[in-house]
Amino acid sequence: MNSLTKEANIARKFNNKNRSRFREPLHRTNERIRVPSVRVIDEDGEQLGVMDTRDAVQKAREMGIDLVEIAPNAKPPVCRIIDYGKFLYEEKKKTAEAKKKQVTVEVKEVKFRPGTDDHDYSYRMKHAREWLGDGDKVRAAIAFRGREMTHRELGAKILKRLTEDLADIADVEVFPKMEGYQMFTILVPKKTK
Q: What is the mean pLDDT of residues 43-54?
A: 87
pLDDT of residue 4: 57
Vertex 191, ends 142 and 161: CA angle to 5°? 30
Q: What is the mean pLDDT of residues 116-131?
A: 92
Residue 4 identity: L
Strand order of the β-sheet with 47-52 is: 47-52, 37-41, 78-82, 66-71
Strand order of the β-sheet with 137-143 is: 107-112, 137-143, 182-189, 170-179
pLDDT digits (tens, 9 = 90+) for 72-101: 888 888 988 988 888 889 889 988 888 888
Indicate the pTM of the whole model. Answer: 0.50
Separation of alpha carbons 142 and 163, rounded Å: 14
Share of the chain above pLDDT 70, in %: 86
pLDDT of residue 100: 82
Residue 193 has pLDDT above 60, yes or no: no
- Domains (range + CATH), the chain: 30-97 (3.10.20.80), 107-189 (3.30.110.10)
pLDDT of residue 12: 58
Q: What is the mean pLDDT of residues 104-109?
A: 85
Burial label for 78, CB within 10 Å (0-12, 13-18, 19+), is middle
Separation of alpha carbons 40 and 50, rounded Å: 6
Residue 68 has pLDDT above 70, yes or no: yes
Contacts of 122 (CB under 8 A, 6+ apart): none
Separation of alpha carbons 79 and 97, rounded Å: 24
Which of the two residues, 28 and 139, has the higher pLDDT score?
Answer: 139
Helix and strand numbers, DSSP H then E, in the chain: 5, 8
Burial label for 156, CB within 10 Å (0-12, 13-18, 19+), is middle
